[in-house]
A and B are shown apart, each in its own frame.
Chain A
Amino acid sequence: MYNRRVQTFLALIALVFLGIVVRLWGLQMVRGQDYRLQIERNLQKLDILPASRGQILDRQGAVLAIDEPCFEFCLDYHVLYGWVPGDPNDSFATEAAQWRRRQEAEWVKTGLAADLADAKEVYLRRLAATWNTARELLGGSGDELSLTVGRIVSRVEAIRSSMNEPAKIAREQTWSHPIATGLDQATATAVKAKLDALVGASVRPSFKRRYPYGGLACHLIGVTGEVSAQEQDRFNLTDSQADTVARLAGNYLGGDIIGKSGVERMCESTLRGRRGCQRRHKTSGQVLEDTPAVQGNDVPLTLDIHLQEDLTRLFPPDASGCIVVLSVPRGEVLAMVSMPTFDLNRYRADFKKLSSDDVMFPLRHRAVSQLYPPGSTIKPLVALAALGDGVVTPETTYNCTGYLLENEPNRWRCWTVKHGIPGHGPMNVRDGLKNSCNVYFYHLGGEMGAARLAAGLAIFGYASPPGTGLLEERSGTVDANASLDESRLMAIGQGPVAITPLHVADALAAVARGTFLSPVLVLEGGPPQVRRPLPFSPVQLEAVREGIRRVVNEPGGTAYKIFHGEDIEPLPVEVAGKTGTATVASLKTDDGQDRVGDMAWFAGYAPYEDPQVAVAVVVEYVEGGAAINAGPIARETLRVCMRRGYLR
């Protein structure tokens, strides 16, 4: 019986061992290759190679934005991780401890430290030196360093906690993270010399965005910044959409630069390169797989930066407003000035000041995103719409007595009343435009009604964004359900109608060429240009063009004195245009610096016979109307265009 029990015991042992062998077979012979691959993956490390962002160029090839090589001081996540007390249940704690022990053991091996205890001392000394270096590079105070490191750590921890396999280590945890960026060659060399006495520190080549023209066309060029979580969600491919290398190359990783506004944002996909990556052996450093970085493509603009420069100088230094210059034949944006400007290179440093300025709003791209009441600049368009609709013919006349309705002489007044001059008398469309007669246009507005007025203005693109592709663009607003009173106001560019300066310039260009073209800003890769012939007969077009020619060129025209005044050197080309003075509510500010006055407009094109450029100028909150504010700027704008060869 005892012997049988011994046999049973042996049989049990044999059975259990057999079970172990079966399990071993399963692990080693069946799934062995998988495990070996996993190990090999673990032994490898993906390093990323930065790709430079493409340049933004003007139409002559001048560089408006460029990635310049610089250096960045980086720290391994193993070091950064120590910044916050680690969660002991965190698998990275083990990894970080091993990383540290490996180095300490290495120092013992190379004789740098006498033993492991000494190596610990060395480590602590070097760690302190590392933080000191980082602090110095960030300007001496610890605040900036705390912010930077805190941001990186919370970003990486967020990535890790979102992983499905929490025990796995996030790729970001194996990387070095930039602490101080934009270092020049001299600083980089100095820091490199010290690296041996630091832990987990490295100096990497990197890129820094530079804007050679500083504040010129700053809104249009736009700024870049660190990618946000929402942007990552929107643009990044998921695991199921692309493999690791493709995702690494194309996806935005935390801290990546992305265009935040202007062309930088609009042409992000063209400008941004594809990161390269190298699969390396962790210890030997041998490169196993190498995908080179693809540099971003350049974006050539239709803009002429020198024209832009001259026009920026034209603008009174403390005023705000815009100048838009379009080429009439192709609808290209030649210059688009929004005042005030800011220096793109100092954007980040000045951001607080810029963003808190609620008087001048220097960050606003007025030319495409500020909605203004168009004032009288809308009149040529209303006239065309009315002619096209058959509400009037070129010869229809209305009598201007200074006001629209006999029984309400104080309500619908022509602008003449304010200046103490009598009404314009009988007006057809040409003279109505020449004199900017409100009464004539009250009649048109009232007879057309809001819906038809809105439809007419939509022909000129007022119901949609201008269409350059800039994401800041705003659609014009025209209320198609407005009341009769409001329709009358809309017909003189007040009331429920608002558009951007780019709308105005583009509409005048359309009047000049007889065809609507959406404005173009990017020579390649922008949105397709919209082209539609205007639904007006040549006679109708001629009547309106003649009207706005008279504005500038016939004595009595509202802009005659601006272009043909006594002290004015006349332009060698004939200009057609329209002034505008739009009334707005004053801008209340917290500190009592209220901005009061009108929006002064001038919109036109030249030469009259063979239109080449269209301009729109708006000056905000000024007294005295278009004649003394916007008009002269427009005139000088045309002169500059001529000097620059855009007007012959």
Chain B
Amino acid sequence: MAAAVLVVWGLLAIGVAEQADPTIRGSVSKQAHFALVAVAVFVIATLLPYQALGRYAYLIFAVTLALLVTVLCLPPIRYSHRWIVLGELQVQISEIAKLSYIIMLAWYLRYRKNYRHLTGLAVPFVLTFVPLGLILVEPDLGTSLLFLPTLYFMLFMAGAKLRHLLGIMAVATAVVLFPVPHAVEPGLARPVMAYGELTLAGRRYAFSAVSLALMEPHQRARVDGWLHQEQLKASDEGYQLARSKMVIGAGRLGGYGDWNEGEMYFQMLPEDHTDFIFSVIAGRWGFLGCVGVLLLYCVIFLLGAEIAVITYDPFGRLLAVGVLALLFSQIVINIGMTMGLMPVTGMTLPLMSYGGSSLVINAAALGLLINVGQRRPVLLGPRPFEHRQED
């Protein structure tokens, strides 16, 4: 129910954006069609025997990886290798990868407990980094970043030791922040977040964290735009973020009521019907609208958590948790980025943003969640994952 409301609300918001920008005319009806497909996929996902799905988990995952490799070999669309074109449709493989990844991970983790040791954590991490890496080179930083929090939530729920998880995170952070030199692109006033810089043989080098050094210049520009929100940078990203904050802020309590005004000001926001749909919602329906959206997501999380608790099937539990973790990560990254709490990455707001792949996959994920809730196998013996401390 909550999901349906969100989808419809999303349609309304896309409508607002469409009114403002005539070039995306027809988005609402397209998205409505996607929504119908999504409902169908949702129903199918609730009806499938999800255990059977689990048995094919590795196969599905392998196929997904193959698709991810395929998409890299295809000619780029809009400068990145994200889509496979099927007739009129462009399918975003990374969206499929999200779902197949949680199915696979849930299946892999279901009866084990070796991940309670540090060495046992290696396999899940490797399984994560394969799709993550493939998506990263598409390039699609946003989606690839999604895998890590999802992995962490699932491992945590499956009972991996918190200190292991935090330890790995600490080491990773240290690695990620390790300074390495890289050439500064000419014309840049100051390198982004560099520890220091030096000029050697006429070229400027900066010492930055590994992660920044590996980034494309436009990605570094985004990070910079985010770090220096108050003094806008001459980049599209800084511009987008500033406009987004402006539109959100202008929503105030109840939103910008006057449609004509709204029409005009939503025009200022590029990508408003996809990644920045939350800004449109905030602008159109204000603080109350935003809280409403968050509450609806909360309803999904509460129901999802209930399903995760009342299901005794280990695969079902992990699947439910995976779906929730996936949703949660997407929501936080997306909303965070529209408000300047996180750097701008390409990330849709689940169920609300314009985009067929995202909507259908999230519907499928929710379908699986309901599916898990509907099948409660009789359980003998202790509940899974209730490990005793000495394990």
In the complex, A313 has a CB within 8 A of chain B = no
In the complex, B48 has a CB within 8 A of chain A = no
Q: Is the CB of A35 within 8 A of B321?
A: no
Residue interface mask B237-263, A partner, CB < 8 A = 1:
011001001111111110010001100
In the complex, B58 has a CB within 8 A of chain A = no
Closest Cβ–Cβ distance, residue A77 to chain B (whole Å): 17
Q: Is the CB of A282 within 8 A of B294?
A: no
- Cα-based distance from A13 to B303 in the complex (angstroms): 13
Q: Is the CB of B294 within 8 A of A20?
A: yes
B236's contact among A14, A16, A94, A102, by CB below 8 Å, is which?
A94
Closest to B327 in A: A13
Q: Is the CB of A167 within 8 A of B233?
A: yes
Q: Which residues of B contact A94 (CB under 8 A)?
A: 236, 239, 270
Q: Is the CB of B156 within 8 A of A5?
A: yes
Closest to B302 in A: A10
In the complex, A193 has a CB within 8 A of chain B = no
A9's contact among B22, B287, B291, B305, by CB below 8 Å, is which?
B305
A35's contact among B246, B287, B290, by CB below 8 Å, is which?
B246
Q: Is the CB of A167 within 8 A of B234?
A: yes
Q: Is the interface of B mostly helix, strand, loop or mixed?
A: helix
Closest to A2 in B: B385
Q: A39-B265, A166-B232 are in contact. Are A9 and B245 (CB under 8 A)?
A: no
Q: By CB atoms of chain B within 10 A, which of A19, A89, A282 has the most?
A: A89
Q: Is the CB of B245 within 8 A of A166?
A: no
B305's contact among A1, A6, A20, A25, by CB below 8 Å, is which?
A6
Q: Is the CB of B234 within 8 A of A91?
A: yes
Q: A13-B298, A166-B234 are in contact. Are A42 and B290 (CB under 8 A)?
A: no
Q: Which residues of A contact B261 (CB under 8 A)?
A: 43
In the complex, A3 has a CB within 8 A of chain B = yes
In the complex, B68 has a CB within 8 A of chain A = no
Closest to A33 in B: B252
In the complex, A36 has a CB within 8 A of chain B = yes
Residue interface mask A108-120, B partner, CB < 8 A = 1:
1100000010000
Q: Is the CB of A16 within 8 A of B332?
A: yes
- Cα-based distance from A116 to B24 in the complex (angstroms): 11
Q: Is the CB of A28 within 8 A of B251?
A: yes
Q: Is the CB of B234 within 8 A of A89?
A: yes
Q: A5-B157, A43-B264 are in contact. Are A20 and B252 (CB under 8 A)?
A: no
Closest to A167 in B: B232
List residues 283-342 of chain B with CB under 8 A from any CB of chain A. Answer: 286-287, 290-291, 294, 297-298, 301-302, 305, 308-309, 317, 321, 324, 328, 332, 335-336, 339, 341
In the complex, B199 has a CB within 8 A of chain A = no
- Cα-based distance from A307 to B347 in the complex (angstroms): 81
Q: Is the CB of B248 within 8 A of A21?
A: no
- Cα-based distance from A109 to B270 in the complex (angstroms): 21
In the complex, A29 has a CB within 8 A of chain B = yes
B250's contact among A1, A14, A35, A116, by CB below 8 Å, is which?
A35
Q: Is the CB of A27 within 8 A of B248?
A: yes
In the complex, B384 has a CB within 8 A of chain A = yes
- Cα-based distance from A27 to B153 in the complex (angstroms): 30
- Cα-based distance from A104 to B308 in the complex (angstroms): 52
Q: Is the CB of B232 within 8 A of A42?
A: no
In the complex, B97 has a CB within 8 A of chain A = no
Closest Cβ–Cβ distance, residue A11 to chain B (whole Å): 11
Q: Which residues of B contact A10 (CB under 8 A)?
A: 301-302, 305
- Cα-based distance from A173 to B21 in the complex (angstroms): 21
In the complex, A101 has a CB within 8 A of chain B = yes
In the complex, A525 has a CB within 8 A of chain B = no
Q: Is the CB of B335 within 8 A of A165?
A: no
List residues 160-210 of chain A with CB under 8 A from any CB of chain B. Answer: 164-168
Q: Which residues of A contact B290 (CB under 8 A)?
A: 21, 24, 28
Q: A166-B233, A167-B232 are in contact. Are A39 and B250 (CB under 8 A)?
A: yes
Q: Is the CB of B235 within 8 A of A35?
A: no
A38's contact among B246, B253, B332, by CB below 8 Å, is which?
B246
Q: Which residues of A contact B291 (CB under 8 A)?
A: 21, 24
Closest Cβ–Cβ distance, residue B350 to chain A (whole Å): 14
Q: Which residues of B contact A19 (CB under 8 A)?
A: 341
In the complex, A643 has a CB within 8 A of chain B = no
Q: Which residues of A contact B324 (CB under 8 A)?
A: 9
- Cα-based distance from A13 to B331 in the complex (angstroms): 10
- Cα-based distance from A641 to B248 in the complex (angstroms): 78
Q: Is the CB of B159 within 8 A of A27?
A: no
Q: How many residues of B sit at the interface, in one of the four size bands?
A: 35 or more
Q: A9-B157, A94-B239, A167-B234 are in contact. Are A29 and B250 (CB under 8 A)?
A: no
Q: Is the CB of A9 within 8 A of B298?
A: no
Q: Which residues of A contact B25 (CB under 8 A)?
A: 105
A24's contact among B248, B267, B321, by CB below 8 Å, is which?
B248
List residues 175-230 of chain B with CB under 8 A from any CB of chain A. Answer: 221
Q: A5-B156, A13-B301, A27-B249 are in contact. Are A43 and B234 (CB under 8 A)?
A: no
- Cα-based distance from A39 to B328 in the complex (angstroms): 31
Q: A23-B339, A43-B264 are in contact. Are A31 and B239 (CB under 8 A)?
A: no
- Cα-based distance from A43 to B235 in the complex (angstroms): 21
Q: Which residues of B contact A101 (CB under 8 A)?
A: 21-23
In the complex, A396 has a CB within 8 A of chain B = no
Residue interface mask A92-104, B partner, CB < 8 A = 1:
0010001001101
Closest to A17 in B: B294
In the complex, B88 has a CB within 8 A of chain A = no
Closest Cβ–Cβ distance, residue A78 to chain B (whole Å): 15
Q: Is the CB of A29 within 8 A of B252?
A: yes
Q: By CB atoms of chain A within 10 A, which of B153, B252, B260, B383 has the most?
A: B252
Q: Which residues of A contact B309 (CB under 8 A)?
A: 2-3, 6
Q: Is the CB of B298 within 8 A of A105?
A: no
Q: A16-B332, A35-B245 are in contact. Are A29 and B159 (CB under 8 A)?
A: no
Q: Is the CB of A91 within 8 A of B239?
A: yes
Q: Is the CB of B234 within 8 A of A90?
A: yes
In the complex, A32 has a CB within 8 A of chain B = yes
Closest Cβ–Cβ distance, residue B251 to chain A (whole Å): 6
In the complex, B282 has a CB within 8 A of chain A = yes
List residues 152-174 of chain B with CB under 8 A from any CB of chain A. Answer: 153, 156-157, 159
Q: Is the CB of B294 within 8 A of A21?
A: yes
Q: Which residues of B contact A2 (CB under 8 A)?
A: 157, 159, 309, 317, 383-386
Closest Cβ–Cβ distance, residue A91 to chain B (whole Å): 5
In the complex, A256 has a CB within 8 A of chain B = no
List residues 1-54 of chain B with CB under 8 A from any CB of chain A. Answer: 21-23, 25
- Cα-based distance from A168 to B231 in the complex (angstroms): 10
- Cα-based distance from A109 to B23 in the complex (angstroms): 11
- Cα-based distance from A434 to B31 in the complex (angstroms): 107
Q: Is the CB of B233 within 8 A of A108?
A: no
Closest Cβ–Cβ distance, residue B54 to chain A (whole Å): 19
In the complex, B55 has a CB within 8 A of chain A = no
Q: Is the CB of A167 within 8 A of B235?
A: yes
Closest Cβ–Cβ distance, residue B79 to chain A (whole Å): 12
Q: Is the CB of B268 within 8 A of A42?
A: yes
Q: Which residues of A contact B249 (CB under 8 A)?
A: 27-28, 31-32, 34-36
Closest Cβ–Cβ distance, residue B246 to chain A (whole Å): 5
Q: A36-B252, A94-B270 are in contact. Are A167 and B264 (CB under 8 A)?
A: no
Q: Is the CB of A24 within 8 A of B231?
A: no
> Which 9 A-B residue pairings sit nearest by Cβ, starting from the closest?
A35-B249, A105-B22, A166-B234, A167-B232, A32-B252, A36-B250, A2-B385, A27-B249, A28-B287
Q: Could you pull out 10 A-B pairs where Cβ atoms are within 8 angstroms?
A: A2-B157, A9-B156, A9-B305, A21-B291, A24-B291, A28-B252, A38-B250, A39-B268, A43-B261, A101-B22
Instruction: Taking A8-B156, A9-B324, A20-B341 as given, write out 20 further A-B residue pairs in contact, using a Cβ cutoff of 8 Å, ordered by the A residue number.
Output: A2-B317, A6-B309, A9-B321, A10-B302, A10-B305, A17-B297, A20-B336, A21-B290, A27-B248, A33-B252, A35-B247, A42-B268, A89-B235, A90-B234, A91-B234, A91-B239, A102-B267, A105-B22, A166-B232, A166-B233
